Structure 1
């Protein structure tokens, strides 16, 4: 492919060329060809990508920007951190070139290596003044033996057409010598591509199970077919990883090989598939009004993220079972693990669910040692509230699926964004008391009545206490390093002893500490809350403090069928609920 192809009709918008032929240098060469629409156009690189609510400053990876018009260099003045302004004397065609470092491996960044390339195009393509709503042509130049996988209509060999800038940067690019597997869901073409293995070849039932989960998503939404007319799955199978990012016509997943090999690994990956696949309705098309349209340059507060992510996180657990995959016992284990994480997160007493959604940009994606004490994930608490909503609605003869379908018909199917008040109104239509209950659940730091709702379906949460005294700290998980504090619990014994994260434990009551089991032996069984002398090191200085252990705390909760609640009525309720029957 020539570096300077013939220019297309200016009305057709820019052509974006990406050259990936230097994978060993981890550099992507970008060339934009366009005819400007004004004499002072601006070039802007997005600061974040939809679905991942953190300003990522992709511009830090951009280098060697140059602009030419008719072969003559054009000066660019930096107008903002990720914005350049051009001063043109004519509307003759422009050629814009730059390079990008692609060394960050995640579902929302760019990574180019000897055996694959992945590009989140929000971090790659400059938005040019006046071009956002015009078509963009994407063309790739690849290393020999590679092919590209892009969820866009083809425009020839290694070229695709996007309807506008938004569709272009919503289209992740995966490239490499990967096998591609084709299958269909309700007659709609789907592709599955894995980097790091060939999962469908290793697991012959995999694509059939993915299809079953996808069909369960369609049934949940009351639709005969997927929202996308041509869908692409991209999986990065890595040593240790977990995550995903949704797009209109695709999703990108990352999962760990060790996790996949674990007994529950396959089920967990199917739940991740269900989560991202359901997002083609909830989030991508049934979208918060604050993201309609998207502002790529700055933070946008989205109070409805609790619904977008929390409801999806709740349903992704149930969808595989609704598809006929797995057992009720496995689902209760998974749901119990989420409820346990929620109940063991003290930050739920500090941050409400709506506040968690509004603070996503500054808290959820910026975890530190004290995060668990000061915040709660809107994914996690959102899933807990979604569970409460589903069981509350079922008391009224309705369910969460009916609300989701109603919102889809009123908002998503028309591309009409919703606001938090629309969500409350939709739930209140199915159960009038939710007009007051739901806002309280969103604003309050009180726990919903978990025990009462779970009793409706014959379930109970059973606490499992620790076998050792509670010290109010979490140690770094490294057997070959000194015993350091990773976290100090708020209002716990360690905090009262003036300890902090990073402190190295040296001795307890004169007994040397080298490994966690040394600490267990030194503490011994708890008989009386006696103070203990702790020797520790901070900033190179050895210090002493007094530590008073507390009785053992709850370390986990298990969700079980309660024999005292089990009867024909609760058993029927549970079966209908777990199978997502309306």
Structure 2
């Protein structure tokens, strides 16, 4: 088959029903059989989402005549025609609030391209154009795709990888423009909110310029922030020259919430370089029909999770203590999940497709987040490099060199051992212990790194004697129900289960607030055996379980009292402010 030309027409005849109509016009088609399909996932969100489930009424035409169109797999259709001009028409339902899925209503439409546009199988590299027909009361289109010269509502994608990485917001969003790091930026606010445009522009400009300084260049000619404001919202997804953010519309004037939003901006913008350009070899070119496995998400997402808060500190939005409190959250998140003894950061990366986006009642016992654990490993790398080079090198230098080597010079993804080797060459530091730890459940002694820069990591609960059964409970329709049982806890060993209803302890009926349970834990003795009356699937039984010391950890990062002047100096370099 020669290279056909592809043009999409997007229209909304009934947006109130949450549908978008797509016409895929294929010209210069010289084959007799054409297979076309819908991606089953979207880059940056590592889960098979089965976008094809929202596709309906697929029809095919050769010139003006309808031709047979047959579905041959869950996300693939086939047409056979001698014509060199074929049109495919279909509808897509979209009514899900997230940064990864379509949302269409009477006021607006957000289109996640992977959930919207089909492609010709084995021809992901073909360019295409998109014409968007606006409903009468809609006036704006926000996307990172460039406009064609022929019409302001017609856009161009050089290939389908670019198309699938360019979300589209259509409606009456509040739009303003600014320049940062020499690049034009657009901000598109959806859903209203109490944001201050001038403040946002000033603060985000600092973030953009700080991150550009780390990487040595800004690779964009334009960039678009699309922010969806809801009563309660959050999350984000990175794209090639844009991002989609979720926020709470009335939280911009709440200091902590506003700083958290800036952290989200810093995180997604950092991905411009880290994952969108500098990436493991498995993350591009993509196979949109199945999982694309990598063990490297601890670098892509973990390093980005380390830098998002650090950027906010460097911009002067966080005090030192505020930053340290944000950083230590990663340690608390990991160490209060027994799964850290079961799953390494690399395995968490590989298993993202089946675990990270599909948590259940036992997830805390079996898994960790590559975001949190990756950030812990990143801070270890940064501090160790700083200490070993007396503050002359740091993780910034590694990332900048990797970007220019693997992306700019060789235009390819990296193997993890290549990344490690480059890091060690750039810094002159043996980093093997930290990279090895990413593939192991054996924990690093993180104080070996914090102490070198004048800080220490302390478990505030280390000497406390609180008792615990190792369960989490919830009030469910007037009943106290177990929602989680911690691995290795008293409840785990005794056989208490998720969904057991707690009725009484030692003959005392439990009230809905669980105060009797709290009283027993406060006044009991370690290894004391208590009788727990439960209802399991409607059957009453008594479980005999011991009381044990709580394993919950509460970590804090503090200045080391006996830090040397050299250690303090390196610590100041680590936490320095650029503005």
Give the TM-score of the pair, scaled to structure 2.
0.93
Match of 1:291 in 2: 283
2:191 pairs with 1:196: yes
Preserved CA contact (<8 Å) 1:14 1:33: yes
2:508 pairs with 1:511: yes
Match of 2:479 in 1: 482
Match of 2:300 in 1: 308
State the 1:383 CA deviation. 0.7
2:85 pairs with 1:88: no
Q: Secondary structure at the match of 2:554?
A: strand
State the 1:132 CA deviation. 2.5
Distance 1:516 1:562 in 2: 40
State the 1:12 CA deviation. 7.3
Judged with a 3 Å threshold, the aligned counterparts in structure 2 of structure 1 residues 369 and 470 are, in CA distance, closer, same or farther, namely: same
Distance 2:516 2:251 in 1: 30
State the 1:77 CA deviation. 2.3
Judged with a 3 Å threshold, the aligned counterparts in structure 2 of structure 1 residues 100 and 277 are, in CA distance, closer, same or farther, namely: same
* Corresponding residue to 2:522 among 521, 524, 528: 524
2:204 pairs with 1:176: no
Match of 1:4 in 2: none
Q: Report 1:2-401 matches (<5 A).
A: 13-35=5-27, 36-91=29-84, 93-129=85-121, 131-146=123-138, 147-155=140-148, 156-198=151-193, 200=195, 202=196, 204-223=198-217, 226-257=218-249, 262-397=254-389, 398-401=393-396
Distance 2:314 2:385 in 1: 19
Give CA deviations for 1:44-70 in whole Å, capped at 9, x if unaligned.
111111111111110111111010112
State the 1:432 CA deviation. 5.6
Distance 2:105 2:572 in 1: 48
Deviates more, 1:255-264 or 1:139-148: 255-264
Match of 1:420 in 2: 416
Distance 1:187 1:428 in 2: 32
Structure 2: runs of 5+ lacking an equivalent: none
Q: Secondary structure at the match of 1:309?
A: helix
State the 1:261 CA deviation. 5.7
Q: Report 1:454-473 matches (<5 A).
A: 454-465=450-461, 468-473=466-471
Deviates more, 1:82-91 or 1:102-111: 82-91
State the 1:579 CA deviation. 2.9
Q: Secondary structure at the match of 1:336?
A: helix
* Corresponding residue to 2:561 among 560, 563, 567: 563
Distance 1:504 1:170 in 2: 47
Preserved CA contact (<8 Å) 2:500 2:534: yes
Judged with a 3 Å threshold, the aligned counterparts in structure 2 of structure 1 residues 16 and 204 are, in CA distance, closer, same or farther, namely: same
Aligned-residue CA RMSD in angstroms? 2.0
Give the TM-score of the pair, scaled to structure 1.
0.93
Give CA deviations for 1:109-149 in whole Å, capped at 9, x if unaligned.
11112332111100111101464322211111222232211
Deviates more, 1:369-378 or 1:207-216: 369-378
Q: Secondary structure at the match of 2:198?
A: coil
Distance 2:551 2:480 in 1: 22
Distance 1:575 1:432 in 2: 22
Give CA deviations for 1:511-546 in whole Å, capped at 9, x if unaligned.
221213232124432334211111112212222111
Match of 1:573 in 2: 570
Give CA deviations for 1:152-186 in whole Å, capped at 9, x if unaligned.
11121322111111111111011221110111112
Distance 2:251 2:532 in 1: 38
Judged with a 3 Å threshold, the aligned counterparts in structure 2 of structure 1 residues 212 and 105 are, in CA distance, closer, same or farther, namely: same
Judged with a 3 Å threshold, the aligned counterparts in structure 2 of structure 1 residues 342 and 129 are, in CA distance, closer, same or farther, namely: closer
Total equivalences in the alignment: 566
Judged with a 3 Å threshold, the aligned counterparts in structure 2 of structure 1 residues 236 and 227 are, in CA distance, closer, same or farther, namely: same
Match of 1:5 in 2: none
State the 1:295 CA deviation. 0.9
Distance 2:282 2:14 in 1: 39
State the 1:198 CA deviation. 4.3
Match of 2:541 in 1: 543
Deviates more, 1:18-27 or 1:185-194: 18-27
Distance 1:208 1:300 in 2: 38
Preserved CA contact (<8 Å) 1:309 1:379: yes
Preserved CA contact (<8 Å) 1:12 1:136: no
State the 1:553 CA deviation. 3.2
State the 1:481 CA deviation. 4.1
Distance 2:19 2:341 in 1: 46
Judged with a 3 Å threshold, the aligned counterparts in structure 2 of structure 1 residues 493 and 575 are, in CA distance, closer, same or farther, namely: same
State the 1:278 CA deviation. 0.9
Match of 1:534 in 2: 532
Preserved CA contact (<8 Å) 2:479 2:501: yes
Match of 2:441 in 1: 445
Q: Secondary structure at the match of 1:338?
A: helix
Distance 1:517 1:260 in 2: 37
Distance 1:506 1:261 in 2: 44
